[in-house]
Amino acid sequence: MAGHVLALAGGVGGAKLALGLARLLPPSALTIVVNTGDDDEFHGLHVSPDLDTVTYTLAGLANPETGWGRQDETYRVLEALGELGAETWFQLGDRDLATHIRRSDLLRQGRSLSAVTAELSLRLGVRHAIVPMSDERVRTVLATDAGTMSFQEYFVKQRCEPAVQSLRFEGAETARPSPGFVEAMAKATAVVLCPSNPFLSVAPILSLPGVRERLALGRSPVAVVSPIISGEAVRGPAARLFEQLQGEPASALAVARYYRGFASHFVLDERDAALKGSVEALGYAVTVAQTLMTSDEDKVGLARMVCAALGVNV
Amino acid sequence: MAGHVLALAGGVGGAKLALGLARLLPPSALTIVVNTGDDDEFHGLHVSPDLDTVTYTLAGLANPETGWGRQDETYRVLEALGELGAETWFQLGDRDLATHIRRSDLLRQGRSLSAVTAELSLRLGVRHAIVPMSDERVRTVLATDAGTMSFQEYFVKQRCEPAVQSLRFEGAETARPSPGFVEAMAKATAVVLCPSNPFLSVAPILSLPGVRERLALGRSPVAVVSPIISGEAVRGPAARLFEQLQGEPASALAVARYYRGFASHFVLDERDAALKGSVEALGYAVTVAQTLMTSDEDKVGLARMVCAALGVNV
């Protein structure tokens, strides 16, 4: 079937599958909606880490070593900012800073985050639609045993060490999904939850008014690509958050339980093939695939499996 | 006599003499008030070219080749901004950008330009007071045969090529001199007009309400260091502006005529020694000195001559 795929993504893991999907599908057949709960201000500049990771990845400019930021990066500005008394725990490379400077400038001129994201990604050579989940401010705030903090404070400054007690997405009750997101929800024939952190990357997107309802109408299948392989997160704090927030050890099965009743399809890693029956018992159509994406071939290969599972012609 | 010197400065030429004065006088005996008519916004960042040139010069961080910006500079951010569609005719180095980012951030937090300038210069190791002429917005606007334009558009983008018909200092009618400027005017026992462009660097400072009157009360001597040597400006468009705005060829004598009735002392370059009598005839006490400052010794030497002329003990 000719159709339209709506992919929901956070940062690194989500960007990898988004790249695979973008290599497989024409721009007209894919919308990548990205979490902005991690957005923050540094030095008065609006930083959108997940949008940038997805954009840089699709543009072929991402730093393969760090997972964030741009390749061939230098840190001259940050070094000088430190000399001037600014806090520099949030690493911002020089080329990456240009993105934040330009974004902030255009936002202050009254452009929407959607318009700015489209402009920046186009300038970097990206032809597929990368869309912020909302043009309005949503901020992930974590209550932890070390106090309440922003996502970046938790993730970067505190290195995910504090135990998380609860999460809230400040502003999400009233923030409208962006126009591109609304349009993609209306025309999507398949939805993919990329292998991003369920609590910190996907939940903020699903928390926006009407999103869960619109995607759960049953018209389009929703596939989850498990971000947990062999009980561990490929990257980031997803595994420990299953323990801290759900009170159970991380596993692909725990991911399946988390999305039960919302998603219809589940993509399990080969190493978790033994869980297939248990995930099916939760009502999912299960695909077993190599979900760890190292090379670009891995990314396209996984995207192909996901599309096949969802009946999307490629 | 123990006293306090108030130096009025623009960019490069002013910064050179300011450095000489700072080497000679303790921080308690010198206030450097700097033109902000050249300030502008680039990429949403507040750029104060003259304040930065003076600060970098006193901090020993100025780029000796360009005259503006910092030494050992790179242009990674600007290059990336260009890729993102931003205009890049105004050269902004990476380290220099850190200054503008930090300044803009602190200004947006509600700090005054005076407070921010003090903070930044202190961080860079400057012990003398560098003070913006005003904390309020003043912008030099030029009417030219190529249309009306901002100072930076004229100076950098158009390379001073359009013929200037008139100047105005937008906002100067109502902008109050900064607190540090007011304090320095009250306690100054001598005033130095550094060898900066009379029309573009000194005039904006003198155009602020009450400044001309307060400095002309006759209590303190006011020395002009001629920015014109042998009929030419050491740097910048001062010479052609004498022709375009005053209708006379540039010369130290034209400078003396320009400040007549306001300044009491005049420092002529050795090469213009023949003009001494004509300048004295305008009512000035004239000192002949080497005013071209190449080395730091030149800067201190000239500062010493200026202080001697004004009766300032060093």
Closest alpha carbon within chain A to B121: A84
B77, B86, B123: residue with CB nearest A94: B77
| Dist. CA A19–CA A58, nearest whole Å | 5
Check if the beta carbon of residue A287 is closer than 8 Å to that of residue A265. Answer: yes
Q: Are B223 and B286 in contact (CB under 8 A)?
A: no
Q: For residue A48, give how far its alpha carbon lies from the nearest alpha carbon of chain B (Å).
A: 16
| Cα A118–chain centre separation | 17
DSSP state of A153: I
Spans in chain A with pLDDT lower than 70: 1-2, 217-218
pLDDT of residue A2: 63
**B100 vs A contacts (CB less than 8 Å):** none
First-residue to last-residue Cα distance in chain A: 9
Q: Is residue B157 part of a domain?
A: no
Question: Nearest residue of B to residue A70 by CA position?
Answer: B80
Q: Are A248 and A254 in contact (CB under 8 A)?
A: yes
What is the C-alpha to C-alpha distance for residues A71 and B223, in angstroms, rounded to an integer? 54
Is A185 within 8 Å of A6 (Cβ atoms)? yes
Q: Which of residues 111-140 of B touch A (CB under 8 A)?
A: 119-120, 123-124
Give the pLDDT of residue A218: 60
Q: What is the pLDDT of residue A19?
A: 98
What does the pLDDT read at residue B179?
Answer: 98
Q: Which residues contact B201 (CB under 8 A, 6 or more apart)?
A: B9, B10, B11, B14, B35, B37, B38, B50
Cβ contacts of B77 on chain A, cutoff 8 Å = 77, 94-95, 97-98, 101
Residue A66 has what pLDDT? 83
Residue B64 within any structural domain of the chain: no
Residue B69 lies in a domain: no
pLDDT of B35 reads 98
DSSP symbol at B294? -
Residue A228 lies in a domain: yes
Question: How many beta carbons lie within 10 A of that of residue B170, not counting itself?
Answer: 14
**Is A298 within 8 Å of chain B by CB?**
no
Taking CA–CA distances from B105, the nearest residue in chain A reads A44
Among B77, B99, B123, beta carbon nearest to A97: B77
Question: Are the C-beta atoms of residues B76 and A74 closer than 8 Å to each other?
Answer: yes
Return the structure tokens found at B123: 């961080």
Binned at pLDDT 50, 70 and 90, residue B68 comes out as confident
The type of residue at A118 is A
pLDDT, mean of residues B172-182: 97
Contact between A83 and B119 using a beta-carbon 8 Å cutoff: no
B85 contacts A123? CB cut-off 8 A: yes
What per-residue confidence (pLDDT) applies to B217?
67
pLDDT tens for each residue of A231-274: 999 888 999 999 999 999 999 999 999 999 899 999 999 999 99
| Cα–Cα dist A70/A94, whole Å | 9
- pLDDT at position A191 is 97
What was the pLDDT predicted at A68? Answer: 84
Helix (H, G, I), strand (E, B) or coil at A32: strand
H or E element at residue B9? strand B5-9
Structural domain of residue B208, as residue ranges?
5-40+129-140+169-310
Element containing residue A148 per DSSP (H, E)? strand A147-150
Of A76, A86, A104, the CB nearest to B76: A76
Residues B281-301, mean pLDDT to the nearest whole number: 96
At residue B66, the pLDDT reads 83
CB contact under 8 A, B102 and A86: yes
Q: What is the pLDDT at residue A65? A: 84
Residue A37 lies in a domain: yes
pLDDT of residue B235: 84
Percent above pLDDT 70 for chain A:
99
The tens digit of pLDDT for each residue in A211-225 reads 999 997 667 999 999
Distance CA A211, CA B312 (A): 74
Q: State the CB neighbour count (10 A cutoff) for residue B298.
A: 16
Burial class of residue B21, CB neighbours in 10 A (0-12, 13-18, 19+) = buried
B60 in reach of chain A (CB within 8 A): no
Specify the 3-state DSSP secondary structure of A132: strand
What is the domain count for chain B? 1
The answer to whether residue A305 is domain-embedded is yes
Does residue A20 lie in a domain region?
yes
Tens-digit pLDDT profile for residues B21-45? 999 999 999 999 999 999 999 999 9
- What pLDDT is recorded for position B218? 60
Q: If pLDDT is split at 50, 70 and 90, which confidence band does B273 have?
A: very high
Mean pLDDT for chain B? 95
Helical spans, DSSP H, in chain B: 12-24, 49-59, 76-83, 94-108, 113-123, 151-152, 179-187, 203-206, 211-215, 238-241, 252-259, 276-281, 296-310
pLDDT, average across residues B148-167: 94
Q: Name chain A contacts of B46, Cβ cutoff 8 Å.
A: none
* CATH number assigned to the domain comprising residue A273: 3.40.50.10680
A87 Cβ contact list (under 8 Å, min separation 6): none
Asked whether the beta carbons of residue A123 and residue B81 sit closer than 8 angstroms, the reply is: no
- In this prediction, residue A216 carries a pLDDT of 78
> Which residues of B are less than 8 Å from A123 in CB distance?
83-85
B104 within some domain: no
Select from B45, B78, B84 the Cβ nearest to the Cβ of A123.
B84
CA dihedral (A299, A301, A305, A306) in degrees, to 10, reads 20
Tokens (6 digits) for B219 = 């209590």
Q: d(Cα A78, Cα A86) in Å, to the nearest integer?
A: 9
Mean pLDDT of B279-304: 96
Residue B270, φ and ψ in degrees, nearest 5: -55, -40
**Bridge-partner residues for A33, per DSSP?**
A8, A131
**Residues B189-203, mean pLDDT to the nearest whole number:** 97
Q: Which of A44, A99, A123 sits opposite B104 (nearest CB)?
A: A44
